Structure 1
Amino acid sequence: MIINKQEFYVNGINYTVRSAIERDAKDLSGLRLQIDGETENLDREKGEAFIDVPGFEQIIKTDTENRRNLFLVAVVHDRIVGFSRCEGNHLNRFSHKIDFGVCVIKDFWGYGIGGNLLKESISWADSNGIKKITLNVLETNDKAIKLYKKLGFEIEGILKKDKILSDGKYYNTIIMGRFNE
């Protein structure tokens, strides 16, 4: 699906949240690789599950055409600095829900970009009859967990010792969901 772009001004910077378009694919491929190397909050290490330009072009095309998918980008001065995806399931028993994921480059943490990507996704979901949004978050990502709770998400479960990080220790993944009645 496509949404109308939204403008934000937070902590001294202007940025836009808009639907991804095919010409974003090149920037997104590099951006995802960069972000994966900046934080252990995501599932991948840098270079793992690499998505090339044609791969991102296909994801954007699919998400644009599918009414249960949404691919958003955050743009500062014509530069993509973050993105989020909502992905629905084609099975009827799961047609009421989507999975959400978000990432923002480290230089732009603290500007509300991830939160605004999520808020736009929630607004889109609520206005399109999607009843449930689910997401996974690393147990140590306190800021994200606090934001998700503030926006109506609840902890639904914990995957114990789900990830091993660079320190060699195991960490839990928290499963959260937001249901819109």
Structure 2
Amino acid sequence: MEFSEKLEFGHDDRRRIYEYVERHGAVDAEDVRETLHVDPGGFRHHVAILRRDGYLSEDDGVLTVALETGAEEEYETDDVEFTIRPARQEDLTGIVGAIRQVAEQGRYIVAESVADEIDHQETLLRHNELESRMFFVAMVGEDVVGWVHLHAPELDKLSHTAELTVGVLDEYQGNGIGSHLLERGLEWAASNGYEKVYQSAPSTNERAIEFLSDHGWETEAVRENHYKIDGEYVDEVMMAVEL
């Protein structure tokens, strides 16, 4: 299923099953059936159709939302070997930790709000009639060392745009991880029909602004004194790239 796809289920129980799994991230199939009070025969029928139509995946009795996100990519530099892949529900804790490390001291306020949101919801990926949210991660071994996140409201007037955050832990910077994550995120956005990707950062986050500028992003606007960080007013730099 692609994020740009409109959700059409054809049956109320089918919609309820999908919405429950989408809201919870990864759920035992029997728990879903019992919670929604769907009879066993009907439940298996609906799940089979949802799997056939590309809405859900099932692995060892666990249901997740099925998304067309591509394969893992492996890279190696002189200093580190890393993998970039679509995020999974079980990556949530690692992603929250990585974002909060990068966002500390007010360097990345939008990303910090993303970490708060997914931590509160306990759900990583979303695709419903109000919003879509996708993550890719950079992994060193079993550790999340970087991420790229895209969020898009399902509104007709904004359906061509998506907001992006990207970051890499300090100790892994300088290995091209951020560039690969950004490229993967933009490729995904383009393949799902988005025409413009944007993000904002405090003007004090000079490293992020320079990184995006080096990758072809342009500053669209500056909002003066938009943030207040450690008692000091800081401008917001609004940047974007056309796909």
Q: What TM-score comes out, normalization by structure 2 length?
A: 0.62
Distance 2:112 2:215 in 1: 30
Q: Is the 8 A contact 2:130 2:155 kept in 1?
A: no
Unaligned regions of 5+ residues in structure 1, if any?
none
Q: 1:85 aligns with which of 149, 173, 183?
A: 149
Q: Is the 8 A contact 1:36 1:47 kept in 2?
A: no
2:237 is the alignment partner of 1:174: yes
Q: 1:136 aligns with which of 200, 221, 225?
A: 200
Distance 1:35 1:83 in 2: 10
- Secondary structure of the residue that 2:222 maps to in structure 1? strand
2:191 is the alignment partner of 1:124: no
Q: What TM-score comes out, normalization by structure 1 length?
A: 0.81
Partner residue of 2:107?
41
Distance 1:153 1:89 in 2: 21
Q: Is the 8 A contact 1:131 1:179 kept in 2?
A: yes
- 1:46-89 CA-to-partner distances (Å, cap 9, x unmatched) read 89974575734x232x1599995421111012211121210111
Corresponding pairs, count: 176
Partner residue of 1:10?
77
Q: Which moved more, 1:136-145 or 1:76-85?
A: 136-145
Unaligned regions of 5+ residues in structure 2, if any?
1-66
Aligned letter for 2:232? Answer: K
Q: In structure 2, do the counterparts of structure 1 residues 17 and 49 end up closer, same or farther at CA, with 3 Å as the change threshold? A: closer
How far does residue 110 in structure 1 lie from its aligned partner after superposition?
2.2
Q: In structure 2, do the counterparts of structure 1 residues 6 and 71 end up closer, same or farther at CA, with 3 Å as the change threshold? A: same
Q: In structure 2, do the counterparts of structure 1 residues 119 and 22 end up closer, same or farther at CA, with 3 Å as the change threshold? A: same
4+ residue runs over 4 A deviation: 44-49, 51-54, 63-68
Structure whose residues are more often helix by fraction: 2
Between the two structures, name the one with larger relative contact order (CA 8 Å, sep ≥ 6). 1
Q: What does 1:15-164 correspond to in 2, within 5 Å?
A: 15-37=82-104, 39-43=105-109, 50=116, 55-56=121-122, 58-60=123-125, 62=126, 69-164=133-228
Q: Is the 8 A contact 2:149 2:164 kept in 1?
A: yes
How far does residue 36 in structure 1 lie from its aligned partner after superposition?
3.4
Q: In structure 2, do the counterparts of structure 1 residues 34 and 137 end up closer, same or farther at CA, with 3 Å as the change threshold? A: closer
Q: Is the 8 A contact 1:63 1:71 kept in 2?
A: no
Q: Is the 8 A contact 1:64 1:71 kept in 2?
A: no
State which structure, 1 or 2, has the greater radius of gyration over its C-alpha atoms.
Answer: 2
Distance 2:96 2:152 in 1: 22
